[in-house]
Amino acid sequence: MFTSSRTPQQISRRTLLLASIGSASLLTACADEGPAPTAKETSLPAKVADYGVDPEQLVMTVYKDASCGCCGGWVAHAEDNGFTITTEHPEALHEVWERHDIALDMQSCHLSLTSDGDVFVGHVPARFVLKYLADPPKGARGLSVPAMPVGTPGMEQDDEFDPYKVMLLTDDEPRVFADVRKASQQRT
């Protein structure tokens, strides 16, 4: 059995002193790290960083039907390309279209909205979203891939591909932003 000539009070003081020194060291070391992150930190894929878009622009809310699998495919495509996505499932999706003034012929299965108010309707490839965000055309509100063309991100079906147009949404008539003839034109 171990016996000590020290009283419990002496041990407590020594323990307290050592604990104080250790705590001070820990606090000093942690102080140099800055504040704790409040959001999931991600690094942009190299090809995405080449577009020169501020990562804060890559935060979107996607409004979609809860049962739509192709929308989930598009969300995965966006996240793979550096976007941070929050998904909402409104009971009345048509109200989202109305609120953002999306004409019937420009609608698709989901709508993505940036914090700056830019809208991206349907299966717009990340490449074109990034190009748009890097240098938004004057008077533009966003982009749309109307309907749901086979071969777009989230709508992949083996090697099938339907050519389509990415439309620029403006306060006037929509116009062509990109004419996509081959699947390879969608890559970032």
Over residues 66-87, the pLDDT tens digits come to 888 889 999 999 999 999 999 9
Contact status, residue 111 vs residue 62, Cβ threshold 8 Å: yes
pLDDT at 23 over 70: no
Cα dist from 151 to 15, 140, 157, 158, 179, whole Å: 67, 26, 6, 8, 14
175-180 and 110-114 beta bridge pairing:
unpaired
Q: Where are the domains of the chain?
A: 51-186
- CB neighbours of residue 40 within 10 Å: 6
CA–CA dist 61, 64 (Å, integer)? 10
Structure token pair of residue 1? 């059995």
Domain at 51-186: CATH code: 3.40.30
Per-residue pLDDT tens digits for 144-162:
999 999 999 999 999 999 9
pLDDT at 11 over 50: no
Can you give the pLDDT at residue 80? 93
pLDDT class for 43, splitting at 50, 70, 90? low
Q: What is the mean pLDDT of the chain?
A: 82
- Between 18 and 122, where is the model more confident? 122
